[in-house]
Amino acid sequence: MQVERLEEPAGKAVPETAQRAVPRHVAVIMDGNGRWAAARRLPRLAGHRAGAQAVRRCIQAAIQNKVGWLTLYAFSSENWRRPAEEVTDLTGLLRHYLRHELAELHREGVRLRVIGERERFDRDMCREFERAERITAGNTRLNLMVALSYGGRSDILRATVAIAEAVRDGRLDPAQLDEQQFGRFLYTDGIPDPDLMVRTSGEFRLSNFLLWQAAYAELVFLDVLWPDFGPTHFAEALDTYARRERRFGARPG
């Protein structure tokens, strides 16, 4: 695979000890299932199946590295444009995953939440989402957000409409609206902004993921197709993150 290589700036030295910066929230764009399958002359579904195994490894890696919040981009608002057969395959896999993995996630102390236009899925699936959220609501070891029919623009637009309605009904004074309050209208209400955003497959774009929330996220692009993703890739991303100097617009320190 041809992947453009960019030199990582020298950055700071990474201390091996406990003061090494660990991102509180990691967001992952899980990309490359189709290319993984094509390279093996397999149908795309095989790539998505293998991708589901990588999801397990990623969750384990987050837990092991004491990352408290993990958001996985599993299906974008734009992915509905794929051929109906692939959409059916993806939703079928999702249904299977929710039914068969929930007990294990719960045992591991994972709290699961779905962000995105969940109402675009069928009623049966919406019930699975609610069930998963209800069962795991008390867990605290890992907050896992699965982005499903998620789009950053639709997130911001939906929030704007809700805000306009609140202003119209006299529940909200526009003069009082600040960034923090705006954030309460987003799907990610109550969830800290991602510190680190990782994309696999060698593509250098956000594809409409967490546009508002990732304003100051560190971006790491990995040269691995999602089905091959494992703990060493997770560690590599954390290592790169630890070397970055975050400034948030302030003077370099």
Bind-site residues for substrate: 32-36, 44, 48, 76-78, 80, 82, 199, 205-207
Nearer to ligand IPE, 71 or 143 (CB): 71
CA dist list (Å): 45 to 37, 91, 98:
8, 11, 17
> Rounded to an integer, what is the distance from CA 242 to the centroid of its chain?
19
Among 79, 193, 223, 228, which one carries the catalytic annotation? 79
Cα distance between residue 52 and residue 142, in whole Å = 18
**Residue 75 binding result from ligand IPE, Mg ion, none, given CB thresholds of 5 to 8 Å by partner type:** ligand IPE
Least Å distance, CB 203 to ligand IPE, is 6
- Tokens for 7, please give them: 């030199």
Secondary structure E strands in 86-159: 110-115, 142-150
Least Å distance, CB 9 to ligand IPE, is 26
Least Å distance, CB 47 to ligand IPE, is 6
**How far separated are the first and last CA of the chain, in Å rounded?**
39
Nearer to ligand IPE, 31 or 128 (CB): 31
Nearer to ligand IPE, 31 or 101 (CB): 31
Cα distance between residue 30 and residue 54, in whole Å = 9
Cα distance between residue 147 and residue 106, in whole Å = 19
Q: Is 79 a catalytic residue?
A: yes
Least Å distance, CB 105 to ligand IPE, is 19
Q: Residue 198: helix, strand or coil by DSSP?
A: strand
Tell me which residues touch ligand IPE (CB under 6 A). 29-35, 73-76, 79, 90, 201, 203, 205, 207, 226
Binding site residue list? 31-36, 44, 48, 76-78, 80, 82, 199, 205-207, 218
Residue 36 binds Mg ion, judged by CB under 5 A: no
Cα distance between residue 24 and residue 153, in whole Å = 24
Least Å distance, CB 247 to Mg ion, is 31
**Residue 90 binding result from Mg ion, ligand IPE, none, given CB thresholds of 5 to 8 Å by partner type:** ligand IPE
Nearer to ligand IPE, 117 or 166 (CB): 117
Cα distance between residue 252 and residue 9, in whole Å = 15
Binding site residue list for Mg(2+)? 31, 218
Nearer to ligand IPE, 51 or 242 (CB): 51
Q: Which residue's C-beta sits nearest to ligand IPE?
A: 34
Q: Is 173 a catalytic residue?
A: no
Cα distance between residue 127 and residue 185, in whole Å = 23
Cα distance between residue 174 and residue 170, in whole Å = 10
* Contact in structure between 125 and 95 (CB atoms under 8 Å): yes
Cα distance between residue 220 and residue 228, in whole Å = 17
Active site residues: 31, 79
The footprint of Mg ion (CB under 5 A) covers: 31
